[in-house]
Amino acid sequence: MQQNAFSSEPIVSLRDVQKSFGPLKVLDGVSFAVDRGEVLAIIGRSGSGKSTALRCIDRFEKVDGGEIVVCGHRVDRPDVNLRALRQDVGIVFQSYNLFPHLTIEQNIALAPCAVKKMATGQAKELARKVLAQVGLEEKLHAYPEQLSGGQQQRAAIARSLAMQPKVMLFDEVTSALDPELTGEVLKVIEQLAADGMTMVMVTHEMGFAKSIADRIVFMHRGKVHETGPASILTSPTTPELIQFVGTGNLKS
């Protein structure tokens, strides 16, 4: 099978990625790789380039230089097949971005029907299944505005899952939620990790990153400043990371 041939290849790899917004250099030679089944957490201050790095993986930002390979797609090339790439990559945003004019079921079934040409009945079955996965079965026919923030975010995760991505990207998915609702979303992500989903997440939840991530990438001024297993959060070596974890709360 194709998967076996690539099993040693990382699912996501960035090499010396450069990106500027005008005169501002946001990514300055960023490199990291994510293996199959691995959970990578990108942490860092606001403006360190962590969200930009994540968005480059799904080509929501075009890079100026360097190489990005995601599930065999050369994302840095202008001729990359975006629709094929985005079938392999699921992305969940800070602001949920559910479609307000559609029910949760329709939100979830939309892409499988439109992109994968799945039959409506089958897509509804799938919607039920992924909603059960995030514990929201009873909200199948609700509209997004009728859900709490945490429920909306779980529905957004379910919507991504329905496309059966090979890797999922989470862009500060709990930043808009209060602590109580954050917990229910993190629990869903934890379950995904336990099921072996490959994930890259930008997060401010240090405790969560420590407990779930196989590897941490600490970004500082557009560079990967320190990287290693989750233990670097408890025993950081660079002064910047020491200061960063010192300001965050590491209770967990």
Contact between 212 and 188 under an 8 Å Cβ cutoff? The reply is no
C-beta of 89 vs 206, nearer to another protein: 89
Residues 184/190, Cβ–Cβ less than 8 Å: no
- What does the per-residue mask of binding to another protein show for 60-79, with x meaning CB under 8 A? x-------------------
12 binds another protein (CB under 8 A): no
Please give the backbone phi and psi of residue 228, each rounded to the nearest 5 degrees, phi first: 165, -175
Binding mask 21-60 for another protein (x = CB under 8 A): -------------------------------------x-x
In the complex, minimum distance from the CB of residue 137 to another protein, in angstroms, rounded to a whole number: 21
Q: Quick check: 118 binds another protein (CB under 8 A)?
A: no
- Selected from 48, 133, 151, 160, the binder of another protein by CB under 8 A is 160
Tell whether residue 95 is a contact of another protein (CB under 8 A). yes
Among positions 115, 132, 242, 250, the unique one binding another protein when judged by CB under 8 A: 115
Which amino acid is residue 147, in one-letter code?
L
The answer to whether 86 and 116 have CB atoms below 8 angstroms apart is no
**Cβ closer to another protein: 156 or 189?**
156
Residue from 10, 90, 222, 236 binding another protein (CB under 8 A):
90
* β 12-21/65-70 pair status: antiparallel
Q: What is the DSSP letter of 146?
A: G
Do 17 and 56 contact (CB within 8 A), yes or no?
Answer: yes
Provide φ and ψ at 47, rounded to 5°: 85, 5
Spell out the residues 6+ positions from residue 131 whose beta carbon is closer than 8 angstroms to its own. Answer: 104, 105, 108, 137, 139, 140, 155, 158
**Closer of 33 and 110 to another protein (Cβ):** 110
Residues at the contact surface with another protein, assessed by CB under 8 A: 58, 60, 82-84, 86-87, 89-91, 93, 95-101, 110-111, 114-115, 143-145, 149, 156, 159-160, 163, 176
